[in-house]
Amino acid sequence: MISIIIPMGGRVKENITAKSLIDKNNTSDILQTYKDFEIIETRFYNFYQGYNLAWNRNIGAKDVKGDILIFMDSDLKLEKDYLEKVLKIKDDFASGSNCYIMGNKKFPGYDKKSGMGYGLILIFKRDFYFNKFGGFIENFFRYGYEDNEAADRIMKLLNKDESQIERIDSSVRHVQHEGRDLYNNKTNKEIYNKLITKDVKKRCELAKNGGNIESPYIINIDKL
C-alpha cells in the first residue's frame, strides 16, 4: 500500500491533488492505474504562530498503513500512472517528479535553489522515514525552508547530492495560485541556516518527537 499525506493549508479550499486520485463524485472510482492507496488529509493550525506544514505532515504520518509514504501539496495534477511509477523506486527516498509544470513554464525535478524540487513531492520507504529520517522539523511556521532542511538531511543520510537523488519519471502540474513567496520568510531562512550546520543524526532523532496534535515540537537549536 501507498500512503499519501496531503496537508490542507489555511488558504486551501479543495484538495485538487485528490482529484487526480479518485473521482470526487464517486469515491469508489479510483483514477490511478494502481489502486491500493490511502489519502490522509490534515488541517491543523496553531492559533499563536500560524500554519505549520511540517507539523501537519508529521501528524498525517502517525498512523499510516503504507510501505511507501508520499508527502505532497494539495494543488497538484498527476498522471494516471503516477502511483504505478512510485512503486518502482529503488532507493529509500525519491523526489516526486522529473518535471514540474506551472502555468506554461517547466521547472526541473531538482535544482540547487529549492533543494530537490520545485513544488516538492517527497517519497519515502517506510523504514527509512520512521527509523532514519524521523520526520519533519516543526520549527518552521507559515511557508518556506522546511523542505530545504528535510532535503539537507536526506542527502546527508544517503550520502548523495541533488543530481544523484532518484526521481519519478513523470511530469506533475502545479496549479497556479496567488499568495506567497516561498523564499521570502526571513525567520525560516535563519532557522534553516542554523539547522544545516548541526549534526544530521541528532536532527533526525529530535524530529521523531513531532506530530503531537496539541502543538508543534520546537527544537532548541542553540543546544544542539
Q: pLDDT digits over 128-143, tens only?
A: 999 999 999 999 998 7
pLDDT band at 118 (very low <50, low <70, confident <90, very high): very low
Q: How far apart are CA 51 and CA 173, in angstroms?
A: 24
Least confident window among 29-33, 119-123, 162-166, 173-177: 173-177
- For 70, residues 6+ apart whose C-beta sits below 8 A from its C-beta are 2, 3, 4, 5, 86, 96, 121, 122, 123, 124
- DSSP-based three-state secondary structure for 54: helix
Q: Are 102 and 37 in contact (CB under 8 A)?
A: no
Q: How far apart are CA 50 and CA 44, in angstroms?
A: 10
- The pLDDT tens digits for 162-201 are 889 898 888 788 776 554 444 457 899 999 999 999 999 9
- The pLDDT tens digits for 58-87 are 999 999 999 999 999 888 888 899 999 999
Return the domain boundaries, the chain: 2-223
Write the DSSP string, 106-158.
EEES--TTTSS-TT--EEEEHHHIIIII----TT--BSSSHHHHHHHHHHHHH
The yes/no answer on whether domain 2-223 falls in CATH 3.30.2010.10 is no
Average per-residue pLDDT for the chain: 85
Max CA-CA distance within the chain? 51
Question: By percentage, how much of the chain surpasses pLDDT 90?
Answer: 52
Q: How far apart are CA 217 and CA 136, in angstroms?
A: 10
Given a cut of 80, whether residue 116 has pLDDT beyond it is no
Q: Where is 171: in which H helix or E strand?
A: strand 171-174
Q: How far apart are CA 206 and CA 103, in angstroms?
A: 38
